[in-house]
């Protein structure tokens, strides 16, 4: 290393940090460290679970939690990209519903499973692209564009399905939710794969790096020569693709395509991203945090069903836990700057 | 630059192709039209004076409501003396009020109304009645009898009783003591859900049984799957499960299959064609469903015609249609499923 | 002179940093007391202590003869201290009048009496020599200088006894500076005290009474006479070493190869601009704020769409309105507003440096962990960015080092054309000299440089050729050697004289 010694008589009034750990371990510690609050909340939920329900700590139950988390988790991966990039996507839930409906019409199903998958991905990506083009090139604020997309996707899904649940008759698609590899449901693998790909893209590619830059300071990114508009549009396509993947997953899990799928998923996804420590204004955030946020939500639901508690109590607790998680998170972050 | 434009062209062409292919995929070859109903018979089959029947119901967010609208339309088409005038379905109370108001202004001969909310449309029913238009109140009941000429609807409490009775009989026959009985309700804060659960508890208690794990979903397949998957973890062993609604039952059945469970029997609710086919095939845990049939819409239109034409119900002695008709909840099992299949609604 | 504010032995620590370590300050009634110090010397922290935003860990404050503490900004405000921050803290969506009375709205029964507020504001603006600013105009739509004036008006509206001004002239042109100084003199004549912070020693000589110098969080000299203390002495106190911050003269004439050609360029605020920059040449644009000089470089760079004209780099015409095309052709811009236009403040130095050249560190779009930190470290060493840690967040660096980070970005990208808009704004004296030397060094390596600056000596010292811009037109082009400060000032202000 050809590190030049500074020639100045006066070093700046800042101390050099002690030789840090390796980049990999720093990154891992950083990921968990930034989300200490959420890890604490999850641990607390686990303790409550073990104490109140003897079936909580079983493998089968933990896999149920992961399976429940898989669909909203995949959507949250896309939402994390959009929010770090300085945008917001309210259309995710209904884009997923639309893709699930489109992929399960009698006509689509007649072409077989691959066409169904392609159809879901294409519908998701096309919806995302339309969002992206209107936001990046049409200069309409993301909140409005994606809200409009939410409404129209819902309408289109109702129109195509005739407001009925379309049953998945294709055995391959139906089998996705029932297949297990090494005892673990395929859906959990899919979830893990999307998270892993998302993590690599966000942290280990120029695309991810530019996402942070554009979310952090779009003007600086533009003046550094980045094509901010094209990148912004691409972020919504990523989100749409995640909706397409989630559509296939939910079609398999519920064995239906329906316009009622994904209601309020946009709020769940955004809440998970925010309690995961991503700034709503963009530029900073972690995928690990978002996924922990999703796991907190699904574990809460699981705990309440295991203890046979009412839905209303569930919702009260959910709200309280969101606030608590954010408070703990903020405190943890202040003590480790 | 030429490289760019070629890429642009290619992706453009691909895009157009994809759109064309996707558009082709929206077609849902409609399943055989099996709207429930009955051809007119007896004296009342004779065409009477021509009448116009107005119809208003909520927008469909569920197969059951969709079937209500379809059944009403189909039944009206069976009468040559009926002009059917349906207003745009909506989930918004004010829009439904406005729509029914136009029917009142048009002076239709009779109105069939399934309100979004019984209480909130009572005044409107009253207004129609005061204007001399008889109102057939379908299912969700108005607060005041002055607001309708005749009420026809299902029996939510009876549904719970039917499900509880079936489960009680089956378990008693098997000789199970201390059975674990699960319940997956619809939306908990609806009175209809509370009535169903009350009937279920009452019927089970007559066998000395009680409800174990109970959770509410949201009448959607997605909610049914999510709640059932978790509930199955809460109860490692189940003897019976009542799911209030066959639409959400699709998700419940999926979750049961995904968990690889099958040690218990399941009873559905409402009576969808899909559930009936599963009962007939007898290859899942679903052994029965208790009806809350949307065929009531067909009957409501039939009643509206009779009321508007001042006729009574053929087999009854009275010269006028009764004030209130509560439909019985039937229990559909493998043995009688063929009788009911034509009344099943598509999810 | 009676003492208004006495500060003794103030200490303030943040986790890991001792920001203030024994600061003394005396401000007398009716004086302009100048606070000098390099970036990071503790000036900003001291201001925040005076404004009640930070609580000192130790030390005493005496206000009008009585010991005080300001537990909140409100307390400082109530005592009569108003602060005009460097980053103006106005609400852009409110009107001028609403901003002036913000927090002290004249009201009756809870309803703001807007008419009174507007009358008050109109009076204050007249007093400040800016009757042209309408009290109902939205503040966000005013120029930077206009916003500055509103901030001063706000301080006056609160009847402050002490006004702290943090680099108030950074965004002002000479005319506006003169106006500000007139206001300051009027205020002090009325007994109001001013704590004045600036990097421009000439200003301090002109307006200041006494000077206190901070270094590394401590007072190193206080109550020096502002007019008579020699510049060399002040710089020695600030830096701890005598520095030569004069601009080094070019060691060789620029080459012959024309790198950047701008022909008949026009935009919304300017037209008919033509000039060429050869390899190794520095072309300076001199002009007032609002003359169109920043708009010209931004249009050359593609950040604004040109309405006419062409920009060529090494003979190839660029697509207008495309920054990406300009960057591909080898241009780089260090923008005027470093923080809002140039930097990703929360990201590390390495990530800021690598932004335009990121693709180079990736294989098929994939980056290793800290892929670019080696290259960043090398280029940081070349520019002597301190501290030399590529993983440090940029926001923790001083203004001068932040500017070096932006320069490092384009040095790493290595394009050959550098556009510098106000390269030394908010940069302390020591770092200024280094940046001048760097620009010179880059030019000698064959980079074509365009410099925009409101400081005429800077343009004259750096540039080989100077373009004087007035009201959107280039009014004069000449070799720097044929110009002097007075002549350029005349040309720049030309319109005012006619």
Instruction: Using only the alpha carbons of chain A, give its radius of gyration.
Output: 22
Chains with 3+ CB–CB pairs under 8 A to A are B, C
Nearest CB to B234 within list A55, A119, A163: A55
Burial tier of C366 (Cβ tally within 10 Å: 0-12, 13-18, 19+): middle
Torsions phi, psi for A77 (to 5 deg): -60, -50
Q: Which of A220, A231, A232, A333 to mutate to test the interface with C (most CBs of C within 10 A)?
A: A220
Average pLDDT, chain B: 87
Nearest CB to A255 within list B218, B236, B254: B254
Cβ pair A170, A109 in contact under 8 A: yes
- Domains held by chain A: number: 1
pTM of the model: 0.76
Assign B17 a pLDDT band (cuts: 50, 70, 90): low
Strand segments, DSSP code E, in B120-191 are 135-138, 150-153, 181-185
**A21 occurs within a structural domain:** no
Q: Check whether residue B284 and residue B300 sit in a common domain.
A: no
From chain B, the residues in CB contact with A256 under 8 A are 221, 250-251, 347
Whether residue B302 is predicted with pLDDT greater than 70 in this model: the reply is yes
CB contact under 8 A, A7 and C384: yes
**B334 occurs within a structural domain:** no
**Which residues, 6 or more positions from A46, have their beta carbon under 8 angstroms from its beta carbon?**
A56, A57, A299
CB contact under 8 A, A177 and B258: yes
Residue of C nearest to A334 (CA): C15
Find which of B126-130, C233-237, C370-374 is predicted with most confidence, using mean pLDDT: B126-130
Q: Check whether residue B301 and residue B185 sit in a common domain.
A: no
Whether the CB of A32 is below 8 Å from some CB of chain B: the reply is no
CA B215 – CA B229 distance, rounded (Å): 11
**A130 occurs within a structural domain:** yes
Q: Which of B11, B20, B26 to mutate to test the interface with A (most CBs of A within 10 A)?
A: B26
pLDDT of residue C363: 84
pLDDT of residue C226: 86
Lowest mean pLDDT among A307-321, C44-58, C256-270, C474-488: A307-321
Average pLDDT over residues B6-27: 65
SS (H, E, C) C135-154: CCCEHHHCCHHHHHHHHHHH
CB contact under 8 A, C384 and A27: no
Whether the CB of A18 is below 8 Å from some CB of chain C: the reply is no
pLDDT of residue B286: 95
User: How far is B15 from chain A, CA to nearest CA, in Å?
Assistant: 9
Give B307 or B89, the one with higher predicted confidence: B307
CB contact under 8 A, C358 and A8: no
CB contact under 8 A, A219 and C366: no
Summarised one tens digit per residue, pLDDT across range B66-111 is: 889 989 999 999 999 999 999 888 888 888 888 898 899 889 999 9
**A19 occurs within a structural domain:** no
CB contact under 8 A, C398 and A209: no
CB contact under 8 A, C240 and A27: no
**B204 occurs within a structural domain:** yes
CA B256 – CA B231 distance, rounded (Å): 10
- Domains held by chain B: number: 2
Find which of A152-166, B279-293, C235-249 is predicted with most confidence, using mean pLDDT: B279-293
Pairing of strands B150-153, C218-225: unpaired
Q: Which of B215, B224, B234, B347 to mutate to test the interface with A (most CBs of A within 10 A)?
A: B234
Q: How many CB pairs under 8 A join A and B?
A: 144
Lowest mean pLDDT among A75-84, A106-115, B278-287: A106-115
Q: Check whether residue B231 and residue B323 sit in a common domain.
A: no
Q: Check whether residue B8 and residue B151 sit in a common domain.
A: yes
Torsion of CA C1, C2, C4, C8, to 10 degrees: 90
Whether residue A337 is predicted with pLDDT greater than 60 in this model: the reply is no
Summarised one tens digit per residue, pLDDT across range B162-211 is: 999 999 999 999 988 889 999 999 888 778 899 999 999 999 999 999 99
CB contact under 8 A, C327 and A283: no
User: Which of B295, B293, B296, B304 has its CA nearest to residue B85?
Assistant: B304
Question: Which residue range forms the structural domain that includes residue B211?
Answer: 156-291
User: Which of A308, A303, A301, A230 has its CA nearest to residue A268?
Assistant: A301
Nearest CB to A253 within list B22, B225, B230: B225
**B342 occurs within a structural domain:** no
CATH number of the domain encompassing residue B262: 3.40.50.2300
Whether the CB of A87 is below 8 Å from some CB of chain B: the reply is no
From chain A, the residues in CB contact with C326 under 8 A are 225
Average pLDDT over residues C319-336: 90
pLDDT of residue C494: 60
Does the bond joining C387 to the residue before it have cis omega, within 30 degrees of 0?
yes
Cβ pair B157, B199 in contact under 8 A: yes
Strand segments, DSSP code E, in chain B are 51-56, 82-86, 110-113, 135-138, 150-153, 181-185, 214-216, 240-243, 265-270, 286-291, 324-326, 331-332
Residue C124 has which token pair?
């204050």
Whether residue A295 is predicted with pLDDT greater than 50 in this model: the reply is yes
**B84 occurs within a structural domain:** yes
From chain B, the residues in CB contact with A262 under 8 A are 222
CB contact under 8 A, A10 and C327: no
Pairing of strands A256-257, A166-167: antiparallel
CATH number of the domain encompassing residue A208: 1.10.3470
Assign C396 a pLDDT band (cuts: 50, 70, 90): confident
CB contact under 8 A, A10 and C17: no
CA C27 – CA B90 distance, rounded (Å): 73
pLDDT of residue B63: 81
CB contact under 8 A, C241 and A212: no
Nearest CB to B229 within list A53, A64, A308: A64
Q: Check whether residue B134 and residue B264 sit in a common domain.
A: no
CA B58 – CA B117 distance, rounded (Å): 9
From chain A, the residues in CB contact with C381 under 8 A are 2-4
Nearest CB to B27 within list A106, A165, A310: A106
Residue of A nearest to B63 (CA): A164
**B232 occurs within a structural domain:** yes
Residues 251-270 of chain A with CB under 8 A from chain B are 253-256, 258, 260-263
Whether the CB of A119 is below 8 Å from some CB of chain B: the reply is yes
From chain A, the residues in CB contact with B251 under 8 A are 253-256
Give C91 or A207, the one with higher predicted confidence: A207
Nearest CB to B28 within list A105, A122, A254: A105
Q: How far from the centroid of its chain's Cα atoms is residue A267's Cα?
A: 11
Residue C138 has which token pair?
């939205």
Q: Which of B15, B17, B226, B277 to mutate to test the interface with A (most CBs of A within 10 A)?
A: B226
Question: Which residue range forms the structural domain that includes residue A193?
Answer: 30-335
From chain C, the residues in CB contact with A217 under 8 A are 340-341, 343-345
Write down the residue that tokens 């470089």 correspond to: C297
**B345 occurs within a structural domain:** no
Q: Check whether residue B298 and residue B233 sit in a common domain.
A: no
Whether the CB of A76 is below 8 Å from some CB of chain B: the reply is no
Assign A336 a pLDDT band (cuts: 50, 70, 90): very low
Interface confidence, given as ipTM, is: 0.77
Summarised one tens digit per residue, pLDDT across range A11-46 is: 333 333 334 444 444 444 445 556 777 888 889 889
**A15 occurs within a structural domain:** no
Chains with 3+ CB–CB pairs under 8 A to C are A
Torsions phi, psi for B221 (to 5 deg): -60, -40
CB contact under 8 A, C17 and A14: yes
**B337 occurs within a structural domain:** no
pLDDT of residue C466: 93
pLDDT of residue C242: 44
CB contact under 8 A, A107 and B347: no
Q: Check whether residue B207 and residue B270 sit in a common domain.
A: yes
CB contact under 8 A, A165 and B26: no
Q: Taking CA C238 as the corner, what is the angle to CA C235 and CA C244, rounded to the nearest 5 degrees?
A: 35
Q: Check whether residue B242 and residue B301 sit in a common domain.
A: no
**A267 occurs within a structural domain:** yes
Residue B119 has which token pair?
């209480």
Nearest CB to A223 within list C323, C368, C386: C323
CB contact under 8 A, C358 and A12: no
- pLDDT above 90 covers a percentage of chain B that reads 54
From chain B, the residues in CB contact with A151 under 8 A are none
**A18 occurs within a structural domain:** no
Whether the CB of A162 is below 8 Å from some CB of chain B: the reply is yes
**Which residues, 6 or more positions from C39, have their beta carbon under 8 angstroms from its beta carbon?**
C398, C399, C400, C426, C427, C428, C431
Q: Check whether residue B207 and residue B171 sit in a common domain.
A: yes
Residue of A nearest to C341 (CA): A220
DSSP code of residue C339: I
């Amino acid at each position: 290393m050809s590190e030049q010694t500074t020639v100045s008589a006066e070093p700046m009034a800042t101390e050099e940090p002690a030789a840090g750990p390796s980049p990999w371990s720093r990154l891992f510690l950083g990921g968990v460290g930034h989300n200490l609050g959420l890890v604490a909340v999850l641990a607390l939920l686990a303790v409550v679970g073990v104490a109140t329900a003897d079936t909580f700590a079983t493998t089968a139950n933990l896999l149920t939690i992961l399976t429940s988390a898989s669909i909203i988790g995949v959507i949250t991966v896309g939402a994390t990209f959009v929010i770090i990039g300085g945008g917001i996507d309210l259309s995710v839930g209904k884009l997923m519903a639309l893709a699930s409906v489109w992929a399960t019409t009698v006509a689509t199903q007649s072409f077989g499973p691959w066409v169904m998958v392609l159809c879901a991905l294409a519908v998701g990506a096309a919806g995302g692209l339309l969002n992206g083009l209107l936001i990046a090139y049409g200069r309409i604020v993301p909140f409005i564009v994606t809200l409009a997309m939410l409404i129209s996707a819902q309408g289109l899904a109702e129109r195509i399905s005739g407001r009925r649940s379309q049953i998945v008759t294709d055995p391959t698609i139906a089998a996705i939710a029932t297949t297990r590899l090494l005892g673990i449901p395929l859906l959990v693998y899919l979830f893990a794969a999307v998270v892993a790909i998302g993590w690599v893209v966000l942290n280990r590619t120029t695309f991810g790096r530019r996402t942070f830059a554009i979310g952090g300071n779009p003007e600086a990114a533009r003046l550094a020569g980045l094509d901010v508009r094209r990148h912004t549009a691409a972020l919504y396509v990523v989100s749409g693709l995640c909706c397409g993947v989630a559509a296939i997953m939910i079609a398999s899990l519920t064995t239906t395509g329906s316009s009622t799928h994904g209601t309020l998923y946009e709020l769940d996804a955004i809440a998970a991203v925010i309690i995961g420590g991503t700034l709503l204004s963009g530029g900073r955030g972690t995928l690990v945090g978002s996924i922990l946020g999703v796991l907190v939500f699904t574990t809460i639901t699981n705990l309440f069903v295991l203890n046979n508690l009412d839905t209303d109590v569930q919702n009260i607790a959910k709200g309280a836990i969101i606030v608590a998680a954010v408070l703990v998170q903020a405190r943890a972050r202040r003590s480790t700057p | 630059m030429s490289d760019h434009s070629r890429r642009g062209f290619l992706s453009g062409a691909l895009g157009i192709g994809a759109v064309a292919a996707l558009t082709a995929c929206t077609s849902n070859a409609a399943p055989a039209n099996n709207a429930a109903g009955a051809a007119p018979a007896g004296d009342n089959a004779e065409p009477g004076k021509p009448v116009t029947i107005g119809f208003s119901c909520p927008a469909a967010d569920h197969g059951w409501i969709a079937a209500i609208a379809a059944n009403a339309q189909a039944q009206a088409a069976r009468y040559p003396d009926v002009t059917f005038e349906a207003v745009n379905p909506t989930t918004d109370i004010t829009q439904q009020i406005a729509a029914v108001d136009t029917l009142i202004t048009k002076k239709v001969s009779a109105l069939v109304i399934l309100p979004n909310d019984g209480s909130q449309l009572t005044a409107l029913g009253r207004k129609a009645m005061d204007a001399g238009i008889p109102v057939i109140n379908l299912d969700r009941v108005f607060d005041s009898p002055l607001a309708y000429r005749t009420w026809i609807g299902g029996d939510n409490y009876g549904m719970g009783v039917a499900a509880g009775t079936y489960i009680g009989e089956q378990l008693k026959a098997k000789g199970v003591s201390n059975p674990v009985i699960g319940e997956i309700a619809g939306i908990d804060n609806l009175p209809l859900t509370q009535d169903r659960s009350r009937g279920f508890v009452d019927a089970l208690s007559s066998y000395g049984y009680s409800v174990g794990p109970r959770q509410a979903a949201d009448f959607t397949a997605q909610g049914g799957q999510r709640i059932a998957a978790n509930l199955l973890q809460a109860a490692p062993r189940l003897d019976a499960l009542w799911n209030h609604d066959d639409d959400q039952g699709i998700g419940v059945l999926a979750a049961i299959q995904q968990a690889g469970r099958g040690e218990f029997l399941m009873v559905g609710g409402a009576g969808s064609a899909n559930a009936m086919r599963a009962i007939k095939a007898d290859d899942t845990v679903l052994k029965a469903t208790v009806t809350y049939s949307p065929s009531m819409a067909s009957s409501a239109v039939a009643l509206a015609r009779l009321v508007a034409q001042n006729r009574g119900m053929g087999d009854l002695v009275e010269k006028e249609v009764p004030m209130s008709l509560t439909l019985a909840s039937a229990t559909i099992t493998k043995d009688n499923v063929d009788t009911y299949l034509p009344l099943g609604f598509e999810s | 002179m009676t003492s208004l504010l006495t500060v003794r032995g103030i200490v303030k620590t943040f986790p890991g940093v001792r920001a203030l370590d024994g600061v003394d300050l005396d401000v007398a009634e009716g004086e302009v007391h100048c606070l000098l110090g390099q970036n990071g010397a503790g000036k900003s922290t001291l201001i925040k202590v005076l404004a009640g935003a930070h609580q000192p860990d130790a030390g005493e404050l005496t206000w009008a003869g009585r010991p005080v503490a300001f537990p909140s900004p409100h307390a400082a405000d109530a005592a009569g201290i108003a602060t005009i921050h460097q980053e103006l803290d106005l609400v852009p969506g409110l009107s001028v009048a609403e901003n002036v009375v913000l927090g002290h709205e004249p009201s009756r029964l809870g309803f703001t009496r807007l008419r009174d507020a507007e009358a008050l504001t109109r009076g204050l603006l007249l007093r400040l020599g800016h009757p042209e600013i309408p009290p109902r105009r939205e503040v966000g739509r005013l120029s930077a200088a206009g916003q500055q004036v509103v901030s001063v008006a706000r301080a006056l509206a609160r009847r402050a006894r002490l006004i702290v001004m943090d680099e108030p002239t950074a965004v002002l042109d000479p005319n506006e500076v003169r106006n500000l100084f007139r206001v300051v003199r009027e205020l002090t004549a009325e007994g109001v005290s001013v704590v004045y912070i600036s990097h421009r020693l000439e200003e301090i000589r002109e307006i200041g009474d006494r000077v206190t110098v901070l270094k590394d969080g401590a007072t190193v000299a206080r109550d020096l006479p502002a007019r008579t203390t020699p510049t060399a002495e002040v710089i020695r106190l600030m830096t701890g070493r005598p520095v030569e911050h004069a601009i080094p003269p070019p060691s060789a004439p620029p080459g012959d190869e024309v790198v950047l050609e701008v022909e008949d360029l026009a935009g919304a605020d300017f037209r008919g601009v033509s000039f060429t920059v050869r390899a190794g040449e520095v072309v300076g644009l001199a002009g007032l704020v609002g003359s169109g000089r920043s708009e010209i470089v931004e249009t050359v760079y593609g950040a604004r769409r040109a309405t006419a004209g062409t920009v060529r780099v090494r003979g190839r015409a660029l697509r207008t309105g495309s920054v990406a095309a300009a960057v591909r052709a080898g241009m780089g811009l260090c923008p005027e507003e470093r923080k809002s236009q140039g930097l990703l403040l929360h990201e590390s130095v390495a990530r800021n440096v690598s932004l335009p050249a990121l693709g180079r560190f990736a294989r098929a779009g994939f980056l290793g962990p800290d892929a670019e930190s080696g290259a960043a470290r090398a280029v940081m060493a070349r520019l002597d960015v301190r501290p030399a840690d590529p993983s440090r967040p940029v926001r923790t660096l001083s203004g001068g080092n932040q500017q070096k980070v932006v320069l490092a970005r384009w040095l790493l990208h290595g394009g050959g054309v550098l556009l510098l808009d106000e390269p030394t704004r908010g940069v302390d004296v020591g770092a200024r000299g280094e940046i001048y030397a760097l620009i010179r060094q880059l030019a000698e390596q064959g980079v074509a440089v365009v410099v925009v600056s409101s400081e005429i000596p800077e343009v004259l010292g750096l540039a080989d050729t100077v373009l004087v811009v007035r009201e959107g037109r280039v009014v004069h082009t000449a070799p720097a050697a044929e110009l002097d400060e007075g002549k350029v000032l005349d040309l720049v202000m030309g319109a005012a004289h006619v």
